[in-house]
Chains A and B, each alone.
Chain A
Amino acid sequence: MNKILWIVLIVLVLTAPAFLYPVFAMQLMCFALFACAFNLLLGYTGLLSFGHAAFFGGAAYIAGHVIKVWGFPPLVGIVCGALVAAVLGYVIGALAIRRQGIYFAMITLALAQIVYFLGLQLPFTGGENGLQGIPRGNLLGIFDLNQSLTMYYFVAAIFLVGFLIIYRAIHSPFGEVLQAIRENEARALSLGYNVDRFKLMAFVLSAGIAGLAGATKAVVFQFASLTDLHWSTSGAVVLMTLLGGMGTVFGPIVGAVIVIALEYKLAGFGSWVQVIIGLIFIVCVLVFRRGVIGEMARLAKVKTA
């Protein structure tokens, strides 16, 4: 099943510019990667972070600053953004894993709010306006990223690399331990695993890749804004993961595509988008907890059984 989905994914990624507006397709990939990174934590480690916007948006600001003000090429900026997000993930993660369950969610939300206020108040962030006019520049001095198709394949490469890292992490012994923690933390502890260290490693990895996605988004749209840091972005990524199927490899991608497409289609309806997003949340939690891919996998299993 995974093999087929991989092929479908790669074909879709390679051919998307033929039937989608490239900027829209790039936005999809950035948020899909963000959701996959988030899923590593929620779906595979059982930790609900309500502050992932801090990494996504934080990396966007860092990448923007490194590229625009310091004049580094976009790849350097993106890598810097991801690294800073990973460091931030280490700090926030180390604090948040001191408590469990819903306290974890509240702590990450509150800590992300500090990052939000930093984004509002620090001198280099542009306050309410955000960081605008980030140049796309060129890749390795050869490829001109102002060409939207070149930019598209650059983003596609980042997306696939990021996704592959997550895929490998999930299917490695490390990923097995994470799932053991999700299923039964006390048992994993009694088997001699340093649970806190594994949780923290998962958090740092998730934050770093969320940062990769955010930094890439900043280069695609050429700005970093307070919206990227806002709690509603943290909420959106939770919804993408939940809707697509948490704890499934490909679910978050599907969820991200649905949520972004919905926001795009409903852009003219003002705050009704928020109402609809809220209603989807409610429906998902009440009757659709497995998500799209989770339900599909269940149906497939029923059929073969």
Chain B
Amino acid sequence: MMRLILAQGMLGLNNGVFYAMLSLGLAVIFGMLNVINFAHGALYMLGAFVALLLYSYLGTWIGIDALHIGFWPALVISPIVVGLLGIVIERTMLRRLYSLDHIYGLLLTFGIALVLQGVFSNYFNISGTPYPAMPAALTGIVNLGFMMFPKYRLFVIVFSLIVCFLTWYVIERTRIGAYLRAGTENPELVKAFGINVPLMVTLTFGFGTALAGLAGVLAAPIYSVSPLMGADVIIIVFAVVVIGGMGSIMGAIVTGLALGLIEGITKVFYAPAANTVIFFLMVIVLLVRPAGLFGRQK
């Protein structure tokens, strides 16, 4: 029994790092832009698809059939592509909405999510395409003592935790982060100090979306690459964000990990509840602590 719990816990943690990375991106964006990015799930999907396209399709498109850009380059290229798209979205569309009610940002990004999802649904099977380029160094399994765990999944957990930690460190402990936090509190004042706040906002959105793209690449070898993969995960991530509250970067990370873990362990005890347990936890948190575990009550 204990082994089973630990094993499911590890798999849950594996999902948890994705929740953590995605809710981290949402929290970073929300902190700076006051926008909930509904397209976050779609950008995560896009990240996975860019990796798939780089390996399986790009060569054929440009006429060099032998060209397959593998996992490691994709891990760099894909977040850049997604981040650049994010920057374009912010510059051309989101920017016009800052003076309006926040719900318009949500509705706009919902529309973007539909467009992205619809385009990929046209060309790819919605039940998913496997990503064929798992790096050779990460295939196989490792013995964790209590279970045999795929090496790749272990890599994803460690790598994601490092990314989350670095993001936290940059925002909470460096000068750039200090500007960001100050910009969140009082953009006018920070502007008066001669800091280019609009540029900062754009880059923040780009960074947040790049995180989603990165999560997408990491997810590609584990889950099959599907146009719907983002829609499935974004609703869970929203619940994670409601539970954690978006006031704290560390809060978003910890909540994401913890909920992944809980979801995994629920599978051991009552499997049908596994896909709703996070939502029920959200209900409990709303009843007990409406502002969220790490949120500040207004």
Within 8 A of A (CB), among B98-144: 100, 102-108, 110-119, 121-122
Contact (A48, B106) CB under 8 Å given A106-B36, A107-B282, A286-B96: yes
Q: Which of B11-19, B164-172, B198-206, B235-243 contacts A (4 or more CB under 8 A)?
A: B235-243
A69 to B121, CA, bound (A): 37
B28 CB → nearest A CB, Å: 16
Within 8 A of A (CB), among B35-79: 36
Q: Count of chain A residues with Cβ under 8 Å from any Cβ of B? A: 38
Residues of B within 8 A of A95 (CB): 283, 286-287
Residues of B within 8 A of A275 (CB): 114-115, 118-119, 122
Residues of A within 8 A of B103 (CB): 48, 101-102, 105
Write out, one digit per residue, whether chain A residues 102-118 have a CB within 8 A of any chain B CB (1) or not (0).
11011101110110010
A105 to B286, CA, bound (A): 14
A95 to B279, CA, bound (A): 12
Query: Which of A103, A110, A238, A276 is close to B279, meaning CB atoms less than 8 Å apart?
Result: A110
Query: Which of A98, A278, A289 is close to B114, meaning CB atoms less than 8 Å apart?
Result: A278
B93 touches A110 (CB 8 A): no
Contact (A113, B113) CB under 8 Å given A99-B242, A103-B242, A121-B272: no
Counting CB contacts under 8 A, is A270 at the interface?
Answer: yes
Query: Which of B272, B276, B290 is close to A99, meaning CB atoms less than 8 Å apart?
Result: B290
Query: Which of B100, B107, B115, B291 is close to A279, meaning CB atoms less than 8 Å apart?
Result: B115
Counting CB contacts under 8 A, is A271 at the interface?
Answer: yes
Counting CB contacts under 8 A, is B280 at the interface?
Answer: yes
A106 to B280, CA, bound (A): 14
Contact (A279, B111) CB under 8 Å given A98-B286, A103-B242, A106-B36: yes
A106 touches B114 (CB 8 A): no
B118 touches A238 (CB 8 A): no
* Secondary structure call for the B interface: helix
Counting CB contacts under 8 A, is A273 at the interface?
Answer: yes
Write out, one digit per residue, whether chain A residues 69-95 have a CB within 8 A of any chain B CB (1) or not (0).
000000000000000000000000001
A-B residue pair count with CB separations less than 8 angstroms: 120
Q: Count of chain B residues with Cβ under 8 Å from any Cβ of A? A: 42
Query: Which of A98, A109, A281, A289 is close to B290, meaning CB atoms less than 8 Å apart?
Result: A98
Contact (A102, B36) CB under 8 Å given A110-B282, A275-B115: yes
A110 to B239, CA, bound (A): 6
A117 to B102, CA, bound (A): 29
A277 to B105, CA, bound (A): 17
Counting CB contacts under 8 A, is A267 at the interface?
Answer: no
Residues of A within 8 A of B119 (CB): 271, 275
B148 CB → nearest A CB, Å: 31
| Smallest Cβ-Cβ distance to B245: which chain A residue | A103
A107 touches B111 (CB 8 A): no
Counting CB contacts under 8 A, is A127 at the interface?
Answer: no
A280 CB → nearest B CB, Å: 8
Counting CB contacts under 8 A, is B147 at the interface?
Answer: no
A274 touches B114 (CB 8 A): yes
Counting CB contacts under 8 A, is A126 at the interface?
Answer: no
Counting CB contacts under 8 A, is A242 at the interface?
Answer: yes
Counting CB contacts under 8 A, is B275 at the interface?
Answer: yes
B280 touches A282 (CB 8 A): no
Residues of A within 8 A of B189 (CB): none
- Can you name 30 A-B pairs with beta carbons within 8 Å? A98-B286, A98-B290, A101-B103, A103-B242, A105-B106, A109-B235, A109-B238, A110-B238, A111-B283, A114-B276, A121-B272, A231-B231, A235-B114, A242-B107, A271-B121, A271-B227, A272-B122, A274-B117, A276-B118, A278-B113, A279-B115, A281-B111, A281-B114, A282-B93, A284-B111, A285-B97, A285-B107, A285-B108, A286-B108, A289-B104
The 5 closest A-B pairs by CB, nearest first: A281-B111, A278-B114, A274-B118, A278-B115, A275-B118
Q: Give the interface of B toward A (CB within 8 A).
A: 36, 93, 96-97, 100, 102-108, 110-119, 121-122, 227, 231, 235, 238-239, 241-242, 272, 275-276, 279-280, 282-283, 286-287, 290-291
Q: Give the interface of A toward B (CB within 8 A).
A: 48, 95, 98-99, 101-103, 105-107, 109-111, 113-114, 117, 121, 231, 235, 238, 242, 270-282, 284-286, 289
